[in-house]
Amino acid sequence: MTEKFDITRLGAQGDGVAETTSGPVFIPFTLPGEIVHAARSKDRGELVSIEKAAPERIAPACRHFGICGGCSVQHLEPVAYRAWKRDNLVQSLRSQHVEGTVTDLVACAPHTRRRVTFTVRKSDKGMVLGYNRALSNEIVDIAECPISVPQIVAALDRLRVLAGMICMTPKPFQMVVTATDTGLDIAARQSGVPGETRRRVASDFVLRENFARLTVDGEIVLEARKPSVLFGEASVLIPPGAFLQATALAERTMADLVCRHLAGAKKGEAGLF
């Protein structure tokens, strides 16, 4: 059974929010100003149809949007999206009584995310590699990812093959893939311990496909080249699966902000150094 809802705002997680007599109902993939029909379960709703669309609604960039849980607001046009993201920060700071000026959001372009964490699982039809469906353990097998750098997207099929070579568990596991200056750095977590034969086969595959490094549960299986990333003028070697700002622009922007803030500081001043 479906109900009609008027969407009044976007929640912090990107769900459209309808105010009802029994409290707010959160309906993914809807926008403020829309009239929608949805199947309700307590405070959640599953979108069935849109009676009146918001003018800010656009066609999503990815064919998997709405199924894959990786993105939640691709249906919102960019200017409105940036305003919503900025307002999220403003409201969070305000709730903690933090005063200050919040400038405009620095937007990162599509195809620039250089570090992604895929969920992988062995199935009857082969290796499934992608992201979990929202609020679910189901893995959506992906064929594209418009937010990721082309090097990662182009390697999706080869990453599935490699995952099959090292997979020693029927359970889902993670594969962290980082695009470095020297090639893809691949770190598998909880994939099981491959035997010597599988390690050798996987190592040959890594060399043949020109990947930089393969690590399984913290142990380096093969390092053809040391994965490095340029920070300013410094080339830094990164540990397997290490945290890295998702985009190079975000890393440079934050570094520039810190450097500008400290530009007039003297050594030892205010305990900064």
pLDDT of residue 273: 46
Q: Structurally, how many domains does the chain consist of?
A: 2
Answer whether residue 216 is part of any domain. Answer: yes
Cα separation of 10 and 84, whole Å? 8
Q: By residue range, what is the domain housing residue 24? A: 2-94
Listing DSSP states for 180-220 in one string gives ETTEEEEEEESS----HHHHHHHHHHHHHTT-SEEEETTEE
**244 in a structural domain:** no
pLDDT, tens digit (0-9, with 9 covering 90-100), for 105-142: 999 999 999 999 999 999 999 999 999 998 899 999 99
| CA-CA-CA-CA dihedral for 85, 90, 92, 98, to nearest 10 | 150
Alpha-carbon Rg for the chain in angstroms: 22
- Domain CATH number, residue 232: 2.40.50.1070
pLDDT tens column, 147-168:
999 999 999 999 999 999 999 9
Domain of 77, CATH number, reads 2.40.50.140
Task: For residue 70, give Cα distances in angstroms to 81, 148, 187.
Answer: 16, 11, 19
pTM for the whole structure:
0.90
